[in-house]
Chains A and B, each alone.
Chain A
Amino acid sequence: MDSNELVPLGKEVYANLTVEELESRLEMTFVHIETISCCDAGGCLKACCDGGYLSKKSSNFDDLTT
């Protein structure tokens, strides 16, 4: 590849933000999780998501598996 080539692959880049600004950008993710996550039994952020549950329910986070 060209010696000066920088091929951006990451689609959501937030450099040079403060923590508060970054957290604000992530707010919709929290809302999304809190709205559709499965239950109060614990483990929902872990078990359901990569376990495939949320990925089936969520249009925004489809196909998080490789």
Chain B
Amino acid sequence: MRTSDYIIFVSIPETSASYLIHGYTGAVDKVSPEIVGYLLKRLTVIPDSNSEDVKIAASHLAGLNLADPQPATIEGLAERGYLTTKTPEEERAFVTKLSQRLHQRWLAHCGPGFLLIPTYDCNMRCPYCYASEPRDAHTRTGEGHAVMSFEAADAAFRVIDELRAAAAKIRPDKPAEAAPEATKADSTAELADPSCTKEPNITFLGGEPLMESTLPVIEYAIPKARERGYTLNAITNGVELNLFEKDLGPDGISWIQVTLDGPPDVHDRTRIGPKYRQGTYERILSNMTLAMQKGTHVHVRVHGNAKTASRLYEVFEDLDRRGFLKEEQFSIYVETTHSWDRGLLKPTYPDIALVDLLDQARPAFRQPITKGRGLLPTYRVPGKLKAYLEHGLAGLIRTMEFCDANGSMYIFDLHGDIYPCWDVTGLKQHAIGRYGAEGHRLFDCRQQWIDRCPAVIPKCQGCKYVFFHFSGCRAIPLRTGQGLQDPACYEWEDVFLHESREFFRRRPNGIAPDAESNDAMSAVPVPSGIPEEAERLVPAC
């Protein structure tokens, strides 16, 4: 027997114990150095695979004279999949086939999500803006201030009706690709799903979707969405939210995400625009208050980078002082900035590696402000590990897919283009379709988005993290000069190992502690249509 290629070795430097996580059998075990050494001796690392864990584990054993485990222990390793009779090719084939099957099941189940881009224009000029490329391109062609027409909005809603009708015809036991295409829109009443306990939604995205120039088309679109049974969300900078006062609330825009860049002095240096040179912190907070008074849920994204990591707690303190954190209609999370849109595959200053942000910010967040509110980004590793411990692979299924960009998300922009992912909006080479008064047409390239899963990415097929990461964000390879069939590892392995060490320090025997720190996986409500993993990637409007 050989050592499985899919073991994640988690070493805890300050103890003699290590942990093994098998990538697909569900096995998680606390083991001795002797067992780690035995497995490492029988392991052949796949070239170009994520194997930092192996290097760390080997370094911890350096200089130790370790005996082989007893036969009964070796038998136990085989029973849990750490030792296998499968050849490397057979293991890889197993993982490939299983990931394909799980992906197909997910596709058969997931319904469409819809977003509207009323403009690529923005009233802010944040230095790190992820959406500046399409905005600048449209400015060069004289369309920089263009706003979606009422006719385009009408056309988008007709396509939304058609796509939703088509999705409603897909049954869970029928693969998505076999679903019949809708030839005409069904009535919305026929689309009601008795198992549906939550309303479908449409999200406004930009540019900046909620500003003076977009007010007419937003107010045109809201009743059209509501009469179809959709709730409405917006990813907004919140600066001109006051203009939309009568459009906020449960019958209008019922959920918004706004972004803060740090405490007021930091935020007001970066969240600025031509009309807002002195900063926007107080203005945004005032509009957040207005929105909540109208009954809109406010979800705050706080940006962390090398300049703000150690000061993130100040944002929470300030919002707590002002009473936001105790409100049910308020939630908050932290996310790092990135520079994929500039082709950078690694965090580059002032962006910060997520593990560094966690190390710098976490000590302050150990002091709970409001239980379940503080939320540092962890790629959901603690939650995934806990689910895996309790349910094996079944525990991962619901969060396995990274986001809806692989086939179920449709983003309609003002120019008649349809995009699958908000990190590629405005980049026509990534459009998956066109729509207009005459109907819509989806391009063949859409199939590549649908197909993207570990089964079509060679590096993912041989990756031990495959069912935890499931090939990750599609935008990363695309924005960094690669293709849809390239992996999106980014910081994944670093974060997984960092957070799994933290996880087992807190749960040395896999048992949850009585008191949870509030920095990991709190239950922040996010409406459907806003996949939380993808939400982290949203342009910081």
Contact = CB atoms under 8 A, between A and B. Distances in A.
Given A26-B397, A35-B195, A47-B528, A42 B110 contact: yes
Interface stretch (B140-148, B272-280, B379-387): B379-387
A14 B109 contact: no
Contact of A51 (B69, B394, B525): B525
Given A19-B97, A64-B386, A38 B197 contact: yes
B482 to A, nearest CB: 24
A2 B34 CA distance: 9
A27 to B, nearest CB: 10
B401 to A, nearest CB: 6
Interface in A1-58: 1-16, 19, 22-23, 25-26, 28-30, 33-57
Contact of A10 (B34, B66, B109, B388): B388
Contact of A43 (B79, B391, B404): B404
B399 interface: yes
Contacts of A45: 106, 109-110, 397-401
A7 B30 CA distance: 5
A28 B200 CA distance: 25
B510 A40 contact: no
Interface in B129-150: none
B391 A12 contact: yes
Contact of B25 (A15, A36, A47, A52): A15
Contacts of B529: 41-43, 47
Given A1-B16, A39-B199, A50-B399, A65 B26 contact: no
B81 interface: yes
A14 B197 contact: no
Contacts of A59: none
Contacts of A40: 111-112, 164, 167-168, 191, 193, 196, 200
A50 to B, nearest CB: 5
A53 to B, nearest CB: 7
B28 interface: yes
B432 interface: no
B497 interface: no
Interface in B359-403: 380, 382-383, 385-395, 397-401, 403
A41 B521 contact: no
A41 B200 contact: yes
A64 B395 contact: yes
Contacts of B28: 8-10
B105 interface: yes
A23 B516 CA distance: 33
Given A10-B28, A15-B80, A41-B199, A4 B70 contact: yes
Given A1-B16, A6-B77, A41-B111, 14 more contacts: A4-B69, A5-B31, A8-B28, A10-B21, A10-B510, A11-B389, A33-B398, A39-B197, A40-B112, A46-B532, A50-B521, A57-B197, A61-B398, A66-B383
Interface of B: 16-17, 19, 21-22, 25-35, 66-67, 69-70, 72-73, 76-81, 84, 94, 97-98, 101-102, 105-106, 109-114, 164, 167-168, 172, 191, 193, 195-201, 230, 380, 382-383, 385-395, 397-401, 403-404, 408-409, 503, 509-510, 512, 516, 520-534
20 contacts: A3-B35, A10-B388, A14-B392, A14-B393, A15-B80, A23-B102, A29-B391, A34-B195, A40-B111, A40-B167, A41-B111, A42-B404, A45-B110, A45-B401, A49-B398, A50-B532, A51-B524, A51-B532, A65-B521, A66-B521
